[in-house]
Chains A and B, each alone.
Chain A
Amino acid sequence: MPEQEVTLDNEVGLHARPAAVFAKKAASFDCDIKLVKDGNEANAKSIMSVLKLDVTKGDAVTIRAEGDGAEEALSDLVELVGSL
């Protein structure tokens, strides 16, 4: 299963708008996508699930994708996190 670790480098982490932007992007893919922080897993397509993870600046998170188009989803989301 393709997965990649990224470190949140923007000021807010995945708190405010970035969480909404991230979940929206994730929801545009068919495959299952998880966001993992400290062993806790969130459904990347669920804004509430992502918010609950409480990702702040400097946190390392892993994005994990499985299913059709997983590779593409992963690279797009990693790029998105880098640009937040």
Chain B
Amino acid sequence: MRTLQGTPGSPGVAVAPAWIFSRAALDLPEEPVEDPDAEVERLRDSAEQVAADLDARAAKAEGELAEVLEAQAMMARDPEMIDVAAEAVRKERTPAARAVVDAGETYAEALQSSESEYMAARASDVRDVCARIARRLVGADDTFSQMSQRSVVVAHELPPADVGELNRDLVAGIATAQGSRTSHTAIVARALGIPAVVGLGEVEVDPTDEIAVDGDSGQIFVQPDEKTRSEIEGRAARAEDRRRHLIERAASLEGDTRTRDGHRIEVAVNVATEVELKAGLEAGAEGVGLFRTELLYLDRTNAPSRAEQSEAVRSLLGLLDGKRLVIRTFDFGADKPVPFLNLPSEENPAMGVRGVRLARDQPELLDDQLAAIADAASSGDRIAIMAPMVATAEEARWFVERVERAEMEAEVGVMLEVPAAIFMAEEIAEVCDFLSIGTNDLTQYLFAADRQNGRLGSFQDHFAPALLRAVKTVCDAADGRAWVGVCGEAAADPLWAMVAAGLGVEELSMGPEAVLEMRVSLSESTMHGCRAAADAALQASDAGGARRAAEDALG
């Protein structure tokens, strides 16, 4: 058994045979070809088939993915690249599969050395296209539709063209060498409930290997021993049981989520993409509590056009069909650099010019985003807009005024994640329709503990009484002035959510995978019990104590 450590990409566990998706796994033929003309013919046919397949996928895709696929189809038909490969076949008698991979590599290397991030990203598109042509030439599998049994997909990275085709019934788990928690593969895997480990560095496995994936710890086990195997299988079976049980308990749920004693608590979903929204709605989400708009900006060398931004909002509104969409205006800056802004680097980006601070610095960027949202809205849509990183009542007033100038019907709010804003929550609530507590950043700033620093992980416990008291302060200050929501990771934990409801939180927004369980848990609780749990947890002196106190109070 070999154990490899990566990053947890999507929770859950699975064990199944490997299904290798990678160029490295391609066995490129070496033998010189006998009939070069026939081989060139095969090359052209295969390239055209790949191009046609990519065109077909592009037609079904939307937005940026569609553009990537269209460009990839053109790459497969690229006359110069095909000529370079054909020449190698004719002159060196190189097999077409090898010739096309080699030809692509010369372009990929040139692109990769470009200073532009965008060009470097195109290098992997080129490699992906050439690998597709080569796979077709050697008759190797290249899409999940050819997968014959339930497997763990092992890849260097999953090209965007394929992530969209993941099928929960066939793909038991995913293990990739590249990627992070926020990469496309991880987002889609979480939305679909497929366990995934990403960023493994290297994954060298044989097609005959069995792979166990632990998406909770971020480990994979190649050829797991009996003990590991049965442990993983046991956890997978328990998770499946829980899921089935949950679906049974959820069967009686109808409409809005209410406690047994009739208090409404809105269960919403956090999204950056349509895939997540679809998954959330399927689980019964009552709206979107956090739409992260950064995906539209990151890795871009130009600002997204107003039409493009508007289209992204409109596609979500279409799916929501009158349910509320809470849009967070762009939350980036030195911490998440965007190429087209050319922002100066900062010593301490987490505390630097980001979120609403960047919006004040470059108001035209915010106005453009607000105009795009206004364009997307039509009657019957419920839109709410909030600003990230607000620290003062004055900033909140500035933001509200900016939204008012965009002339649209929308609720206006701010994210509470800066400690100073907690103490000014009353004044901020006076000018806003709602306050949304971002527990991840708030915890980081409350404890002055970098959330990316693993050695400070213990500070990120959402049951910390300091965080609970901050939530109480906000709820008390907002009472009668604005509604309060929570959209950090804490909101996905049912026990924490009950404590928050007891403190006065009216809306909880979480990843799509947590929605169903949350609706069931809240529906089986009482507001009376939630308040008792909140009172008990507030008295505790540490996170462990607060958790136990809440559990005890709820019996």
Q: Smallest Cβ distance from B102 to chain A, in angstroms?
A: 14
What residues on A are CB-neighbors of B340 within 8 Å? 11
- Which of B70, B78, B81, B118 has the largest count of A CB atoms less than 10 A from its CB? B78
Give chain A's interface residue range (CB within 8 Å of chain B). 20 to 34
User: Total interface residues on B, using CB and 8 Å?
Assistant: 22
Distance in angstroms between the alpha carbons of A43 and B79 in the assembled complex = 9
B119 CB-CB contact with A under 8 Å? yes
A52 touches B110 (CB 8 A): yes
Q: A11-B302, A52-B107 are in contact. Are A46 and B81 (CB under 8 A)?
A: yes
B74 touches A20 (CB 8 A): yes
- Which of A24, A45, A46 has the largest count of B CB atoms less than 10 A from its CB? A46
Q: Which of A17, A51, A52 is close to B67, meaning CB atoms less than 8 Å apart?
A: A17
Q: Which of B67, B71, B80 is close to A46, meaning CB atoms less than 8 Å apart?
A: B80
Q: Smallest Cβ distance from A83 to chain B, in angstroms?
A: 15
B23 CB-CB contact with A under 8 Å? no
Q: Smallest Cβ distance from B14 to chain A, in angstroms?
A: 37
Distance in angstroms between the alpha carbons of A17 and B111 in the assembled complex = 16
Q: A15-B118, A43-B80, A54-B114 are in contact. Are A48 and B126 (CB under 8 A)?
A: yes
B122 CB-CB contact with A under 8 Å? yes
Distance in angstroms between the alpha carbons of A24 and B74 in the assembled complex = 8
A17 touches B80 (CB 8 A): no
Q: Smallest Cβ distance from A53 to chain B, in angstroms?
A: 10
Distance in angstroms between the alpha carbons of A15 and B110 in the assembled complex = 14
What residues on A are CB-neighbors of B119 within 8 Å? 15, 51, 54
Q: Which residues 106-134 in B have Cβ within 8 Å of A in the complex?
A: 107, 110-111, 114, 116, 118-119, 122, 126
Q: A17-B71, A52-B110, A54-B114 are in contact. Are A11 and B303 (CB under 8 A)?
A: yes
B81 touches A12 (CB 8 A): no
Smallest CB gap from B126: residue in A: A48
Smallest CB gap from A45: residue in B: B79
Distance in angstroms between the alpha carbons of A24 and B114 in the assembled complex = 23
Smallest CB gap from B110: residue in A: A52
Contacts across chains A and B counted by CB atoms under 8 Å = 56
Q: Which residues 36-83 in A have Cβ within 8 Å of B in the complex?
A: 43, 45-49, 51-52, 54, 56
A16 touches B67 (CB 8 A): yes
B269 CB-CB contact with A under 8 Å? no
A27 CB-CB contact with B under 8 Å? yes
A23 CB-CB contact with B under 8 Å? yes
What residues on B are CB-neighbors of A46 within 8 Å? 78-81
Q: Smallest Cβ distance from B488 to chain A, in angstroms?
A: 34
Distance in angstroms between the alpha carbons of A15 and B111 in the assembled complex = 11
B80 touches A51 (CB 8 A): no
Q: Smallest Cβ distance from B364 to chain A, in angstroms?
A: 14
What residues on B are CB-neighbors of A47 within 8 Å? 71, 74-75, 78
What residues on B are CB-neighbors of A56 within 8 Å? 116
What residues on A are CB-neighbors of B525 within 8 Å? none
What residues on B are CB-neighbors of A11 within 8 Å? 301-303, 340
Q: Smallest Cβ distance from A33 to chain B, in angstroms?
A: 11
A23 touches B74 (CB 8 A): yes
What residues on B are CB-neighbors of A17 within 8 Å? 67, 71
Q: Which residues 10-40 in A have Cβ within 8 Å of B in the complex?
A: 11-12, 15-17, 19-20, 23-24, 27
What residues on B are CB-neighbors of A45 within 8 Å? 79-80
What residues on A are CB-neighbors of B111 within 8 Å? 51-52
Distance in angstroms between the alpha carbons of A16 and B116 in the assembled complex = 11
Smallest CB gap from B340: residue in A: A11
Q: Which residues 67-93 in B have Cβ within 8 Å of A in the complex?
A: 67, 70-71, 74-75, 78-81
B301 touches A48 (CB 8 A): no
- Which of A11, A20, A51 has the largest count of B CB atoms less than 10 A from its CB? A51
What residues on B are CB-neighbors of A19 within 8 Å? 71
Q: Smallest Cβ distance from B188 to chain A, in angstroms?
A: 23
Q: Smallest Cβ distance from A65 to chain B, in angstroms?
A: 16
Distance in angstroms between the alpha carbons of A52 and B126 in the assembled complex = 11
A20 touches B70 (CB 8 A): yes
Q: Which of B70, B75, B110, B301 is close to A12, meaning CB atoms less than 8 Å apart?
A: B301
What residues on A are CB-neighbors of B303 within 8 Å? 11
What residues on A are CB-neighbors of B71 within 8 Å? 17, 19-20, 47
Distance in angstroms between the alpha carbons of A43 and B114 in the assembled complex = 19
What residues on B are CB-neighbors of A20 within 8 Å? 67, 70-71, 74
Smallest CB gap from B74: residue in A: A47
Distance in angstroms between the alpha carbons of A20 and B55 in the assembled complex = 13
A16 touches B118 (CB 8 A): yes
What residues on A are CB-neighbors of B114 within 8 Å? 54
Distance in angstroms between the alpha carbons of A31 and B376 in the assembled complex = 44
What residues on A are CB-neighbors of B67 within 8 Å? 16-17, 20
What residues on A are CB-neighbors of B78 within 8 Å? 46-49
Smallest CB gap from A46: residue in B: B80
What residues on A are CB-neighbors of B116 within 8 Å? 15, 54, 56
Distance in angstroms between the alpha carbons of A49 and B74 in the assembled complex = 12
Distance in angstroms between the alpha carbons of A27 and B73 in the assembled complex = 14
Chain A proximity mask over B212-227: 1 for CB below 8 Å, otherwise 0: 0000000000000000
Q: Which residues 305-350 in B have Cβ within 8 Å of A in the complex?
A: 340
19 additional A-B residue pairs with CB within 8 Å, beyond A46-B81, A48-B107: A11-B340, A12-B301, A12-B302, A15-B118, A16-B301, A16-B302, A19-B71, A46-B79, A46-B80, A47-B74, A47-B78, A48-B80, A48-B126, A49-B107, A51-B111, A52-B107, A52-B110, A54-B114, A54-B116
5 contacting pairs across A/B (C-beta < 8 A): A17-B67, A19-B71, A48-B107, A52-B111, A54-B116
Residues of A in contact with B (beta carbons under 8 Å apart):
11-12, 15-17, 19-20, 23-24, 27, 43, 45-49, 51-52, 54, 56
Closest 4 CB pairs of A and B: A46-B80, A11-B302, A48-B107, A47-B74
